[in-house]
Every structure is written in structure tokens, then in C-alpha cells.
């Protein structure tokens, strides 16, 4: 529709064509031919929300508290439980209703003390961080020579003879998160299949600043479990280079990680009840858990605080959409996904009334718009709404969107959106000690807030509904 209107502006004399085109397209989106388009319909309220978002300081203050007073919050940690209780309070103080913690058990992985040291050719500590889910080394640690490979193919070519009893180092250069992360998730089992005693993985990041990046890993049930950790890009490069030059590299690895029994935790939700269709729900959120390093500021604290603040702004402005709009802080996105699954269960047979789900889990750098896994006609409706966000640079609608936490909803046909940003530095900070409040630019935060508020409100209020498509991406 946006394209048609632009043409109409360019050729005002072609009135008849314009009307015909508009009618055809409106029919295609499921709207009555005489409805005003969503851009014009929601411009006044969108401008109010954007003005309020760009002037907001409360959201960033909430984020400051989460980062500086609560800190990181891995599933099972005291930090997470503090964050959950505090979040429910914040939702209440923002005037939301039906605030509740939806209880669920979460896996409880505990890092414990850990270290790695290169013993030869130089004796020096390595910048390491155990991968989430890894087992411990035997007491006293593992000392072994390092076999360095760029990828699984190289490892397979070396074969069991050269890998048996060794520590495998995956020194894959960063080629985008989706491609490179497989060494973090599957590297240990692949190495174990060839007899390796441990696996080290070059941190999955484009930036080498001696920062190791943790993240989830999975054991193949058909292979022995071996301990696994990330090392900094610098040290992966160094060890790989030494090995390539024929210099034996010996490493001592010591990890005491363990899985504790599942812990009690929960998703946190709150809402503004719809004034006409209260049973129909637009849910918008991110994950409240984080890794056990840094402050979970970009991943995903800023997102949940922006989602909450979007509803807080609606309350302040006295805006009540026709449908219910709900904010959800899903738990355990990082290492289990229990929160997203629990939310699906909570929704139950009301799934048909879940009008849309928006997940924000790519950080809070400058927003560009939304990715949406919806039918083509619905994409057009989203474009009409997104046009209102051009003011804050967030006017793009791209063709696929979703997220780990809303995947269980999308599986059952709920239209899923991902709020998207430029993502310039996100993977510099992701899952590290550097994911701290200072990384969230307050101005960018406010633009994200504006984008969420406008999209959330419009989806909850507009006459039509989006049409979902089967499936939805996990990031």
C-alpha cells in the first residue's frame, strides 16, 4: 500500500488509477475497501507514542537498575530470581494489570572455578570461559597437546589417530553468527567422537579483544561428554599458528562446572487489557535470563525494559487498544528455552486469540524495523504501520522474523515478529563480560522503545489481524 500511495503522490492527475489500485490492494490485505490505510489511521497516536518515547528517561533508569543493581542472571541464579521479583514490581508500578509470574522449572548449570593455561611453548594463562552446559574436567584438570583445526572437515581429515587424547581447538574465523556458532554448540561431541579429551572454541565474534564469549553447547547423546570452553580469538589464532608452524602447544584446562537440580523460576507477564476484544492478545517481550557474565544489557535486558516501557508509555498517555497488549519476560532463553515453552502451555487453547507475538532479542542498537514471518498481505499491513516509524529510522519490514521465545507460539501459527536493529556491535559484546549498560546508547534505546510502542499498539488496536505462516526462526 505504501508503494501505491507514493505513486499517487507523484501522479496526482491519475486519480482513477489510484483509486482502482487502492481498492485492489486493500482487498488483498483483507481490509474493507473503504477503510483508511493503517499509516493514516495510526499517525496521530503513533506520533504521541514516539514523542513520549523520545523524551522518556524512566525506561533507561529501569535498565540501569537491572544492570547495576541486579546484574547478570543465569537460570538458577540468585540474580535471576531477584530480577523476576523486581520485574513484577516494575510492571505493577507501571500500572499494568494481570501481573504474574508463570512458574516453571529451569535447568541450573553452575560454572564454578575454571581456568586454562598454556604450558608450552610459553607458560601463560589463557583468556577462557567455559561453555554453558559443559561438564567439569576431572579434579586436577586435563593437560594435553593441542590439535588445531579451522573446521569439522579438517578435524575429520586428521582422524582418530591424530586426535585421540588431544585437546581440539576450533579456530574458525567469524563468518556470521549462524554459521560460526556450530563449533560452540557441537564442537565438543564432534571432537569426542574422535577421542579428544577436551574442546576449545575460538569465541564466536568478529572482534578480537581478548574477550572469551560463552554460550550454550549440546552434547550428542551418542558420544562421550568432554569439557569445552571458549578462548579469546587472539589465543585461538596464536595456538593455531604455533601448531601450524610445528611448535607443540600444551594446555592445562581445569573446569568444575556442574548441573544442579532444576531450579524454580518463571516468566513474568503484565498487560493492558483490551477495551473491545480483551481476549485477543498481542504479546511483546524478550528474555529475562542472561549468561553469568557481564550484565545482560544488550542481551536481553534493554529489550525487556523497552517492551515494559512501551506499555508504561501507553498507560501514561491513557491509551487502551482494542485488544489486550501484554509484555512478557521469558525465562531461560539462553540455555533451555523453558520460558517460551511454558508460555505456550500457559496460553493453552487460547492460542487462536494470540493475535501477534513480537520478540526483541538482537540488542538495542539503532532500530531498523521488524522482521515478520507472516503472509504476504500481512506484510503490507506491517509496512503501513512501519511507515510511522520512519521518524526513528525503524521503517523497514523484512521477510522473516521470530525468536527463540516465541517459536512455540509461531509453531502453532501465531504471526511472529522480530524487532530488528543495525546490529553493528552486537556480536562484539554477546555473552561476555562486556555486555554492560554503557553499551546501550540511551538515544538508541528510546528509538527502540518508540518502535515497540507503535507496532505493539497498532497490532493490538487495528481492525484486521495478521496472518501467520507455519514455523518461525530461532536465532
Binding a second copy (rule: CB under 8 A), the pick from 11, 92, 162, 241 is: 241
* Site stretch for a second copy (CB under 8 A), options 46-54, 252-260, 349-357, 430-438: 430-438
* Site stretch for a second copy (CB under 8 A), options 26-34, 204-212, 299-307, 336-344: 204-212
Quick check: 438 binds a second copy (CB under 8 A)? yes
At its nearest, how many Å lie between a second copy and the CB of residue 238?
Answer: 6
* Site stretch for a second copy (CB under 8 A), options 51-59, 169-177, 234-242, 315-323: 234-242
Quick check: 121 binds a second copy (CB under 8 A)? yes
* Site stretch for a second copy (CB under 8 A), options 35-43, 119-127, 315-323, 461-469: 119-127
Closer by beta carbon to a second copy, 127 or else 273: 127
At its nearest, how many Å lie between a second copy and the CB of residue 219?
Answer: 29
Quick check: 277 binds a second copy (CB under 8 A)? no
Quick check: 208 binds a second copy (CB under 8 A)? yes
Quick check: 428 binds a second copy (CB under 8 A)? yes
- Specify whether 333 is catalytic: yes
Binding a second copy (rule: CB under 8 A), the pick from 124, 175, 258, 275 is: 124
Binding a second copy (rule: CB under 8 A), the pick from 66, 374, 437, 454 is: 437
Closer by beta carbon to a second copy, 69 or else 160: 69
Q: Using H for helix, E for strand and C for coil, what is the string for the chain? A: CHHHHHHHHHCCCCHHHHHHHHHHHHHHCCCCCCCCCHHHHHHHHHHHHHHHHHCCCHHHHHHHHHHHHHCCCCCCCHHHHHHHHHHHHHHHHCCCEEEEEEEEEEEEEECCCEEEEEEECCCEECCEEECECCCCCCCCCEEEEEEEECCHHHHHHHHHHHHCCCEEEECCCCCCHHHHCHHHHHHHHHHHCCCCCEEEEECCCCCCCCCCCCCECCCCCCCCCCCEEEECHHHHHHHHHHHHCCCCCEEEEEECCEEEEEEEEEEEEEEECCCCEEEEEEEEEEECCCCCCCCCHHHHHHHHHHHHHHHHHHHHCCCCCCEEEEEEEECCCCCCCHHHHHHHHHHHHHHHHEEEEEECCCCCCCEEEEEEEECHHHHHHHHHHHHHHHHHCCCEEECCCCCCCCHHHHHCCCCEEEEEECCCCHHHHCCCCCCCHHHCCHHHHHHHHHHHHHHHHHHHHCCCCCCECCCCCCC
Residue 315, burial from CB neighbour count under 10 angstroms (0-12, 13-18, 19+)? middle
Catalytic one of 271, 280, 333, 384: 333
* Site stretch for a second copy (CB under 8 A), options 230-238, 254-262, 272-280, 319-327: 230-238
Binding a second copy (rule: CB under 8 A), the pick from 211, 381, 397, 450 is: 211
Binding a second copy (rule: CB under 8 A), the pick from 252, 436, 448, 454 is: 436
At its nearest, how many Å lie between a second copy and the CB of residue 133?
Answer: 23
Binding to a second copy (CB under 8 A) within 71-90 occurs at 71
Q: Which phi and psi (to 5°) does residue 236 adopt?
A: -65, -45
- By rule CB under 8 A, what count of residues binds a second copy? 30
Quick check: 238 binds a second copy (CB under 8 A)? yes
Closer by beta carbon to a second copy, 293 or else 382: 293
At its nearest, how many Å lie between a second copy and the CB of residue 234?
Answer: 5
Catalytic residues: 333
Q: Interface with a second copy by CB under 8 A: which residues?
A: 64, 68-71, 121-122, 124, 127, 207-211, 233-234, 237-238, 241-242, 247, 294, 428, 432-434, 436-439
Amino acid at each position: 500500500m505504501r508503494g501505491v500511495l507514493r505513486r499517487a503522490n507523484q501522479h496526482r492527475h491519475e486519480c482513477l488509477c489510484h483509486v482502482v489500485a487502492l481498492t485492489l490492494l486493500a482487498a488483498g490485505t483483507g481490509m474493507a475497501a473503504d477503510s483508511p490505510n493503517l499509516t493514516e489511521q495510526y499517525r496521530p497516536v503513533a506520533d504521541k507514542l514516539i514523542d513520549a518515547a523520545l523524551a522518556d528517561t524512566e525506561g533507561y533508569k529501569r535498565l540501569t537498575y537491572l544492570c547495576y543493581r541486579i546484574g547478570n542472571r543465569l537460570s538458577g541464579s540468585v540474580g535471576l530470581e531477584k530480577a523476576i521479583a523486581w520485574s513484577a514490581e516494575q510492571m505493577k508500578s507501571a500500572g499494568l494489570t494481570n501481573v504474574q509470574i508463570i512458574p516453571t522449572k529451569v535447568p541450573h548449570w553452575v560454572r564454578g572455578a575454571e581456568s586454562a593455561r598454556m604450558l608450552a611453548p610459553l607458560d601463560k594463562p589463557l583468556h577462557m570461559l567455559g561453555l554453558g552446559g559443559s561438564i567439569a574436567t576431572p579434579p586436577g584438570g586435563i593437560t594435553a597437546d593441542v590439535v588445531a583445526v579451522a573446521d569439522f572437515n579438517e578435524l575429520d581429515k586428521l582422524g582418530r589417530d591424530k586426535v585421540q587424547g588431544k585437546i581440539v581447538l576450533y579456530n574458525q574465523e567469524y563468518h556470521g553468527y549462524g554459521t560460526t556458532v556450530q563449533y560452540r554448540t557441537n564442537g565438543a561431541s564432534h571432537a569426542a567422537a574422535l577421542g579428544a579429551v577436551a574442546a576449545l572454541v575460538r569465541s564466536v565474534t568478529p572482534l578480537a579483544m581478548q574477550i572469551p564469549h560463552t554460550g550454550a553447547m549440546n552434547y550428542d547423546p551418542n558420544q562421550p561428554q568432554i569439557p569445552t570452553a571458549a578462548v579469546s580469538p587472539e589465543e585461538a589464532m596464536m595456538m593455531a599458528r604455533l601448531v601450524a608452524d610445528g611448535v607443540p602447544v600444551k594446555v592445562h584446562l581445569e573446569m568444575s562446572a556442574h548441573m544442579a537440580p532444576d531450579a524454580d523460576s518463571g516468566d513474568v507477564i503484565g498487560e493492558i487489557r483490551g477495551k473491545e476484544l480483551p481476549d485477543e492478545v498481542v504479546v511483546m517481550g524478550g528474555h529475562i535470563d542472561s549468561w553469568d557474565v557481564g550484565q545482560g544489557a544488550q542481551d536481553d535486558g534493554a529489550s525487556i525494559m523497552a517492551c515494559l516501557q512501551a506499555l508504561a508509555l501507553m498507560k501514561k498517555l491513557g491509551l487502551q487498544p482494542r485488544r489486550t497488549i501484554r509484555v512478557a519476560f521469558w525465562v531461560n532463553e539462553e540455555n533451555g528455552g523453558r520460558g517460551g515453552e511454558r508460555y505456550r502451555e500457559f496460553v493453552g487453547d487460547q492460542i487462536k486469540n494470540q493475535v501477534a507475538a513480537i520478540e526483541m532479542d538482537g540488542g538495542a542498537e539503532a532500530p531498523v524495523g521488524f522482521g515478520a514471518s507472516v503472509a504476504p498481505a500481512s506484510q503490507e499491513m506491517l509496512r503501513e504501520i512501519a511507515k510511522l516509524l520512519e521518524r526513528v529510522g525503524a521503517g523497514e519490514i523484512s521477510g522473516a522474523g521470530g525468536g527463540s521465545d516465541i517459536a512455540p507460539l509461531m509453531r502453532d501459527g501465531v504471526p511472529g515478529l522480530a524487532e530488528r536493529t543495525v546490529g553493528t556491535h552486537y556480536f562484539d559484546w554477546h555473552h561476555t563480560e562486556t555486555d554492560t549498560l554503557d553499551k546501550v546508547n540511551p538515544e538508541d534505546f528510546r528509538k527502540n522503545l518508540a518502535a515497540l510502542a507503535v507496532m505493539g499498539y497498532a497490532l493490538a488496536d487495528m481492525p484486521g489481524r495478521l496472518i501467520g505462516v507455519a514455523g518461525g526462526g530461532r536465532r
